[in-house]
Amino acid sequence: MEKIGHYINGKRVAGTSGREADVYNPATGEVQAQVALASDAELNTAIEVAKQAQIEWGATNPQKRARVMMKFVDLLHRDMDKLAEALSREHGKTIPDAKGDVIRGLEVAEFCVGAPHLLKGEFSEGAGPGIDMHSVRQPLGVVAGITPFNFPAMIPMWKFCPALACGNAFILKPSERDPSVPIMLAELMNEAGLPDGLLNVVNGDKSAVDGILDHEDIMAVGFVGSTAIAEYVYSRGAANGKRVQCFGGAKNHMLIMPDADMDQAVDALVGAGYGAAGERCMAVSVAVPIGEDTADRLMEKLTPRVENLKIAPYTAGDDADFGPLVTKEAHERVKGYVDAGVKEGATLAVDGREFSMQGYENGYFIGGCLFDNVTKDMSIYKDEIFGPVLSVVRAKTYEEGLDLAMTHEYGNGVSLYTRDGDTARDFANRINIGMVGINVPIPVPLAYFTFGGWKRSGFGDLNQHGPDGFRFYTRTKTITSRWPSGIKEGAEFSIPTMN
C-alpha cells in the first residue's frame, strides 16, 4: 500500500511519528493509501528549515521570484492531466472539475508574476523641510496555510503563491483526506526554481494545526474550512500574536425574480448546486423564487433536471455530472440532513438517498436531492450540508427574499437572476454578503480581485488572493530621512509637526 509522508527541504520524507490516517478511494470505499500524521518534531524541523531558507529568499529581488512563478505556471500546464487524475482519485470529483480546481489555482500563480509591481512602495519628496519619506513592503518570514479537502490544488495555491512571491517561506498543512496533490505542487515549485526549504508540506491532524498556531516562528496563518474550526484557528492564532485570515462555512442563496430567464436560472442551479457533489463553499444550496408562479415554474423545470443527473466515478470522464462524496462520514451526514428535512416537513421532490451504482456499491455516492417548501427554521436551511442537496424557499416578495439572505448567519456568496437593472443594482448595493453574482451562479472573483465572505463565513480583515493576498503576506515599513545640510542645530523637544 502506498505510504504518503511529508515534503520537507525539497524532498519527500517518510513519517516518523508512528501515526497514520487512511486515504480512501471515494468511488469504491477502499483504502488506497496511508498518510503520515506529523509529530511536533517533524513540524519543528520543517519550520526551522523554512526559517533558514527564507533569509536569502526574502532578500532576492521580486523579479527573480516572479520568474519562478512563470515557470511554475508552465509546469502546471504540462502536468495538468497527471494532477487532475491524482486529485480525482482521492477526492472523487470528475476530471473536468479537477482540472478546474488546478486552473483556478494556476490563475493566482499567474497574478503573482506581477509581484514586482504589487510590492512597490510609495515615495514623497520634500514631505517636510529637507525631509523625504518612503514606504516599502517586506515579507513576514515563515507563514503557514491550513487547507481543506474540497480544493486540494486551488486553495493551497491561493495561499502559497502570493506568500512565496512576497518573499516568505511557507508551511502547508493540507487535508489528510487527499494529500497527494499538495506534495506534487511543492515538487513542481522546486522544479520551477524555488530553492529547497521554502515550501514544505506537513501532513497531520489537529496536533499539527495546534503546533502551527502556537509556534513562535510562524508569523501568519491562512485557513479554509468549517466555521467552527475557522473561529478556533482565528482565536488561537490571534491570541498568539499572529496575523490570521480564516474562511468558514456558507449557505449561498440564489434569488430568482419573476422576470428571470427560467431556463438560464435552472441551468445555473443545477451546475452550482450539484457540481462537485455540492462540496464547495460557493455551491448554491438555497433557491429563492419570488412569487408562487415563479416557484411553480422553477420546480416544473428543475425537478426533471435533478432526476436525470449523471452520477459516476471520475473514470467515467465527461459523462459524469458529479461523483461520490469524499468519505463515508460525509455520506452519512448528508443522508442524515435529508432525513431531517423530511421529518421537519419539507417536500422532498427528488430523493437521491438510495442511489447505488453497479460495481461501486461500497462507494460514497448519493443522488441529487431537491427540497421544496423549505422554511427558515429547518436545519436543512440553517446548516451547511456540503452535499448535493438544494432547498427551495418560496418568498412572496423581493424584500422577503432579500431578508432571507441578509439575516442568515453566513455571508459567503449570493446571486440574483433578473432582467431588471434597477433590481440588480439595488440588490448589489444592499446585500450584506461578500461575493455577489448578477445572473452569475458562482460569483468567485478572478485572481486579480479578492475572495472572501462576510459574517460567519470569514474571520480577519484581509481576503484571499488579489491585492489583499500581497497585503496579508507583507508588512509596511515607512522611512523618514533628512540629511545634515537640512538639519537645524539644537535639540527639538516637541513632537515633529508640519507647522
φ, ψ of residue 76 in degrees (nearest 5)? -65, -40
Give the residue carrying C-alpha cell 459516476. 312
Residue 328 has pLDDT above 80, yes or no: yes
Give 317's DSSP letter: G
Burial 39-68 (b: 16+ CB within 10 A, else e): beebbebbbebbeebbeebbeeebeebbeb
User: What pLDDT band is residue 254 in, cutting at 50, 70 and 90?
Assistant: very high
What is the reported pLDDT for 487?
67
Measured CA to CA, the distance from residue 424 to residue 496 in angstroms comes to: 50
How many Cβ atoms sit within 10 Å of the Cβ of residue 20? 17
Measured CA to CA, the distance from residue 398 to residue 229 in angstroms comes to: 34
Closest CA to 439 of 458, 409, 414, 460: 414
Measured CA to CA, the distance from residue 424 to residue 198 in angstroms comes to: 45
What is the reported pLDDT for 319?
85
For residue range 336-372, what is the model confidence (pLDDT) as tens digits?
999 999 999 999 999 999 999 899 999 999 999 999 9
Measured CA to CA, the distance from residue 17 to residue 294 in angstroms comes to: 58
From 112, 166, 246, 281, the catalytic residue: 281
Q: Tell me, what amino acid is at 72?
A: F
Residue 467 has pLDDT above 90, yes or no: yes
Q: Name residues whose C-beta falls within 8 Å of residue 484's C-beta, 6 or more positions apart in sequence.
A: none
Measured CA to CA, the distance from residue 227 to residue 37 in angstroms comes to: 23
Measured CA to CA, the distance from residue 21 to residue 175 in angstroms comes to: 11
Beta pairing, strands 122-128 & 169-173: unpaired
State mean pLDDT over 171-186: 98
State mean pLDDT over 294-301: 98
What is the reported pLDDT for 90?
97
Share the mean pLDDT of the chain: 96
State mean pLDDT over 471-498: 83
Closest CA to 102 of 121, 113, 86: 86
Helices in 60-196 by DSSP H: which ranges? 62-78, 80-91, 95-112, 115-118, 154-165, 180-191
Measured CA to CA, the distance from residue 374 to residue 346 in angstroms comes to: 5
What is the reported pLDDT for 486?
61
For 478, the grid coordinates are: 515607512
Residue 484 has pLDDT above 90, yes or no: no
What is the reported pLDDT for 490?
75
pTM value? 0.95
Q: Tell me, what amino acid is at 261?
A: D
State mean pLDDT over 301-325: 94
Closest CA to 177 of 42, 283, 336, 33: 33
User: What pLDDT band is residue 85 in, cutting at 50, 70 and 90?
Assistant: very high
User: What pLDDT band is residue 1 in, cutting at 50, 70 and 90?
Assistant: confident
User: What pLDDT band is residue 162 in, cutting at 50, 70 and 90?
Assistant: very high
How many Cβ atoms sit within 10 Å of the Cβ of residue 99? 20
Residue 497 has pLDDT above 90, yes or no: no
What is the reported pLDDT for 489?
76
Q: How many CA atoms lie within 13 A of 493 on its CB side?
A: 0
SS3 44: helix
Measured CA to CA, the distance from residue 183 to residue 221 in angstroms comes to: 19
How many whole angstroms from its chain centre is CA 323?
20
281 is catalytic: yes
DSSP string, 122-148: EEEEEEETTEEEEEEEEE-SEEEEE--
Residue 491 has pLDDT above 80, yes or no: no
Measured CA to CA, the distance from residue 224 to residue 230 in angstroms comes to: 7
What is the reported pLDDT for 373?
98
What is the percent of the chain with per-residue pLDDT over 90, rounded to a whole number? Answer: 93
Measured CA to CA, the distance from residue 111 to residue 386 in angstroms comes to: 30
Measured CA to CA, the distance from residue 402 to residue 222 in angstroms comes to: 31
What is the percent of the chain with per-residue pLDDT over 70, rounded to a whole number? Answer: 99
Question: Counting every residue, how long is the chain?
Answer: 499
Cα torsion through 240, 245, 251, 252, rounded to 10: 170
Q: Domains of the chain, with CATH numbers?
A: 2-248+457-479 (3.40.605.10), 252-438 (3.40.309.10)
Measured CA to CA, the distance from residue 221 to residue 242 in angstroms comes to: 7
Residue 421 has pLDDT above 80, yes or no: yes
